Amino acid sequence: MFLDSENKTECFGCESCVQICPKKALKMAEDEEGFRYPVVDSTLCNGCMLCRKACPFSEMPEKHGNIYTFGGYNSDKKTRFESTSGGAFSAIVEAFCDENYVVFGAESDGLKVFHNCIFDKKDLGKFRKSKYSQSVIGDSYIKVRNYLKEGKKVLFSGTPCQISGLKSFLKNVETQNLLTVEVVCEGVPSPLYINKMEQSFEKKYGGKIEELDYRYTGKSIFSSGKWDFEGMRIKFNSKSSKEIVRDRWFNPFWSVWLQHLMSRPSCYKCLFATNERTADITLGDLWGVHLYCPELYGKNGGSSLVFCNTAKGKEVFDTASKYMSGHELKFEDALKYQSPMRKTIDENPQRDSFMKDLMSDMSYREINKKWAKRPTLKLLYQKYVWGNRQKIFLWNLKKSLTKGRSNA
Ligand SMILES: Cc1cc2nc3c(=O)[nH]c(=O)nc-3n(C[C@H](O)[C@H](O)[C@H](O)COP(=O)(O)OP(=O)(O)OC[C@H]3O[C@@H](n4cnc5c(N)ncnc54)[C@H](O)[C@@H]3O)c2cc1C
């Protein structure tokens, strides 16, 4: 799909076509909603069609059924704290990267998100934490190809569509030394909204945003220091190094995004919203943990769900699991709480009206006032009074009482 085509649902923005072009006739350009699409310079194009062949929509890379499912968390507390879910990604890097390796992942500079690579595990921190916007792939696939040709072990992590883009790009390359790790994904928000958010905060707090943690688990008045109850932390590079934390349930970003008003068009038709996967390993949050495996709640420091989809993925994860506490889960149980692996998100019928407002000169504040919803009393009751955390607490109490009785 190219920017001149009407059907934007058929472009994930994986950038495979741009990177494969021998004439550099393609580049990515933003459309009016802020999403990036390839544009062709017809004066440079020689009509070789390599771009079409490298597009996952022309030929979708092979998908694999589940062979092993695991729930648990990284045994190293610090790693868990610095990760989004249970730190499974770090355990996998630890297991795969022994020597002559390179790791690719999404890094951020303020609110800008882009793919990069590291050659030393000690730099892994920059890839930890979910950045909830589409990362710019740049020339990462070209680099992967070159490193594989040099004989390096390559770990590439990203969203499912980025993994499919990479695999389409590498069609004729030997990939024995490549391990692909994807995150469960339910879409990416409009960069236009993220830009307005950035401008609004920078104006209000008088500094450039240096760091944004969408799922901050440190303790503050607006975040409980718990994995399923995080705040959003924003750090500014103003003289005072100001830092603010926004409450999770009153944060308009989450409300607007999760109403599916501003996702990339292809996300509503996502071809990866299925239990068959493209990557060797799929990572997510262990949602539903309080309902089917409360022993894996891990004192609420974060818990990961890991799906191994290929023999290679399983082999690496067998070693990775040594750095984790947890156990095997039934695939069907895990799938019940992972809707992005069962169905695509529904496009909000009001998306067009929302986008019109977003593209107008309405401010971030005005947009949120009109579109963000306040949390329901039921939700607030569940989060602040009686919810998963309290249920787990009771479960633990019952367990220790039963243990006490049977020991007596
Ligand atoms: C846009 C997005 C949507 C997600 N939606 C869901 C969901 O609906 N349900 C669910 O269970 N899990 C979802 N996840 C996955 C989840 O948030 C965690 O990333 C995952 O469980 C890994 O956590 P960890 O503790 O093992 O790793 P961490 O150490 O926190 O690792 C983060 C990993 O995510 C990758 N990553 C971070 N940001 C991006 C990005 N913008 N683009 C591509 N890759 C990125 C990094 O490269 C790294 O591999 C989503 C992640 C992203 C980025």
**Which residue's entry shows tokens 């648990």?**
72
Mean pLDDT over the full length of the chain: 93
8 Å CB contact between 85 and 227: yes
Other residues' Cβ atoms within 10 Å of the Cβ of residue 358: 22
Cα–Cα distance measured from residue 118 to residue 124, given in angstroms and rounded to the nearest whole number: 7
Site residues for ligand 1, CB cut-off 6 Å: 83-90, 105-106, 113, 127-133, 135, 157-159, 181, 183-186, 188, 283-285, 287, 304, 338, 340
pLDDT in tens, 62-101: 999 999 999 999 999 999 999 999 999 999 999 999 999 9
**Taking the model in full, what pTM does it have?**
0.94
Residue identifier of the C-alpha nearest atom 41 of ligand 1: 131
CA distances from residue 220 to 80, 91, 274 in whole angstroms, order as listed: 18, 28, 38
Q: Is the pLDDT of residue 107 over 70?
A: yes
Tell how far the Cα of 3 is from the centroid of ligand 1, in angstroms: 28
Instruction: Count Cα neighbours of 223 within 13 Å in the Cβ-side half-sphere.
Output: 23
For the chain, what are the domain ranges?
8-53, 68-188+263-341, 191-260+345-375
pLDDT at 220: 66
Nearest ligand 1 atom, CA 159: 43
pLDDT > 90 in the chain, percent: 80
pLDDT in tens, 216-254: 988 766 556 677 777 899 999 876 678 999 888 899 999
Q: Is the pLDDT of residue 395 over 90?
A: no
pLDDT at 127: 98
Q: Is the pLDDT of residue 119 over 60?
A: yes
Residue identifier of the C-alpha nearest atom 19 of ligand 1: 130
Average confidence (pLDDT) over 195-209 = 93
CA distances from residue 92 to 16, 74, 179, 258, 296 in whole angstroms, order as listed: 25, 10, 10, 29, 19
Size of the chain, expressed as the number of residues it contains = 408
Q: Is the pLDDT of residue 191 over 90?
A: yes
Instruction: Strand 101-109: give its sheet, edge to edge.
Output: 112-118, 101-109, 153-158, 178-183, 281-285, 304-308, 68-74, 324-328
**Of 340, 393, 382, 76, which is closest to residue 229 (Cα–Cα)?**
382
Helix/strand/coil for 275: coil
pLDDT at 184: 98
CA 35 and chain centroid, separation: 17
Tell how far the Cα of 129 is from the centroid of ligand 1, in angstroms: 7
pLDDT band per the 50, 70, 90 thresholds, residue 5? low
DSSP 46-93: ----HHHHT-TTTSPPP-B---EEEEEEES-HHHHHHSSSSSHHHHHH
Tell how far the Cα of 52 is from the centroid of ligand 1, in angstroms: 29
The CATH code of domain 8-53 reads 3.30.70
CA 221 and chain centroid, separation: 26
Tell how far the Cα of 284 is from the centroid of ligand 1, in angstroms: 7
76, 163, 183, 336, best to mutate for ligand 1 pocket (most atoms within 8 Å of CB): 183
Query: What DSSP state is assigned to residue 168?
Result: H
Query: What DSSP state is assigned to residue 30?
Result: E
Residue identifier of the C-alpha nearest atom 1 of ligand 1: 132
**Of 157, 197, 358, 391, which is closest to residue 288 (Cα–Cα)?**
391
Nearest ligand 1 atom, CA 132: 1
8 Å CB contact between 189 and 267: no
pLDDT band per the 50, 70, 90 thresholds, residue 380? confident
17 or 206: whose pLDDT is higher?
17
Helix/strand/coil for 322: helix
pLDDT at 408: 64
Average confidence (pLDDT) over 286-311 = 92
Instruction: Count Cα neighbours of 311 within 13 Å in the Cβ-side half-sphere.
Output: 1
CA distances from residue 140 to 14, 102, 119, 266, 384 in whole angstroms, order as listed: 11, 12, 14, 21, 43
* Among the ranges given (56-60, 108-112, 292-296, 382-386), the one the predictor scored with the smallest mean pLDDT: 382-386
Other residues' Cβ atoms within 10 Å of the Cβ of residue 399: 12
8 Å CB contact between 308 and 66: yes
pLDDT in tens, 127-143: 999 999 999 999 999 99
Other residues' Cβ atoms within 10 Å of the Cβ of residue 219: 12
Tell how far the Cα of 403 is from the centroid of ligand 1, in angstroms: 37
Tell how far the Cα of 43 is from the centroid of ligand 1, in angstroms: 39
pLDDT in tens, 309-349: 999 999 999 999 999 999 999 999 999 999 999 999 999 99
Average confidence (pLDDT) over 8-15 = 96
* Encoded tokens for 83: 């990760």
Average confidence (pLDDT) over 354-383 = 94
194 or 229: whose pLDDT is higher?
194
Tell how far the Cα of 128 is from the centroid of ligand 1, in angstroms: 8
**Of 168, 48, 178, 200, which is closest to residue 103 (Cα–Cα)?**
178
Nearest ligand 1 atom, CA 113: 41
287's CB contacts (< 8 A; 6+ apart) are: 305, 337, 338
CATH of the structural domain 68-188+263-341, one choice from 3.30.2320, 1.10.1060, 3.30.70, 3.40.640: 3.40.640
130, 163, 266, 308, best to mutate for ligand 1 pocket (most atoms within 8 Å of CB): 130
pLDDT at 340: 97
